[in-house]
């Protein structure tokens, strides 16, 4: 079974590499073949393949082979799962922070009462 936590592990892990983020950025503008994805990268093709496996293993992309060319495309679902995790944390923090600001305001109001 692939629980939510290990899905996020894989997704963030996949995102933690500039070559892979480059591939995702490329794929955001449309499907691409393995060679096209490899073109801007200064590494061997097997290395590219390994990055693609990481991306596909995390569910960030999917790919299919037709003849001898494999076409990759972005899979936006996992992208937004990761995004949502970050949004949730940040918004929880912001709520707390707003409350703190309120509290500071209250203190200032009381100070003013004392004048």
Partner DNA sequence: AATTTAGTTAAGTGTATGCTTAACTGTCTT
Partner DNA sequence: AAGACAGTTAAGCATACACTTAACTAAATT
Binding site for its own copies (CB under 8 A): 5-6, 8-10, 12-13, 15-18, 21, 24-25, 27-30, 74, 76, 79-80, 82-83, 85-87, 89-90, 92-94, 96-97
Helices assigned H by DSSP within the chain: 4-15, 18-28, 34-38, 45-57, 76-114
Query: In angstroms, what is the minimal distance from the CB of 112 to its own copies?
Result: 27
Q: Please, which residues have CB within 8 angstroms of residue 3's CB and are 6 or more apart in sequence?
A: none
* Angstrom distances, CA of residue 9 to CA of 36, 55, 57, 58, 62: 27, 12, 11, 9, 18
Told to check if 8 binds DNA by CB under 7 A, we report no
Q: Which of 15, 49, 73, 85 binds DNA (CB under 7 A)?
A: 49
Q: Are 55 and 20 in contact (CB under 8 A)?
A: yes
Which of 6, 25, 28, 45 lies at the binding interface for DNA (CB under 7 A)? 45
Query: Does 6 help bind DNA (rule: CB under 7 A)?
Result: no
Query: Nearest to residue 21, comparing CAs of 9, 12, 30, 10?
Result: 12
Considering only 12, 28, 35, 98, the residue that binds DNA (CB under 7 A) is 35
Binding site for DNA (CB under 7 A): 13, 16-17, 19, 33-35, 38, 42-47, 49-52, 54, 65-70
């Amino acid at each position: 079974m692939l629980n939510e936590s290990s899905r996020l592990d894989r997704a963030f892990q996949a995102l933690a590499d500039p070559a892979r983020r480059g591939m995702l950025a490329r794929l955001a503008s449309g499907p691409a073949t393995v060679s096209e994805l490899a073109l801007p990268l200064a590494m061997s093709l097997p290395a590219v393949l390994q990055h693609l496996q990481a991306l596909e293993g995390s569910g960030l992309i999917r790919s299919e082979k037709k003849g001898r060319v494999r076409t990759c495309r972005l899979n936006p679902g996992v992208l937004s799962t990761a995004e949502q995790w970050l949004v949730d944390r940040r918004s929880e923090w912001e709520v707390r922070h707003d409350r703190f600001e309120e509290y500071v305001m209250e203190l200032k109001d009381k100070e003013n009462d004392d004048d």
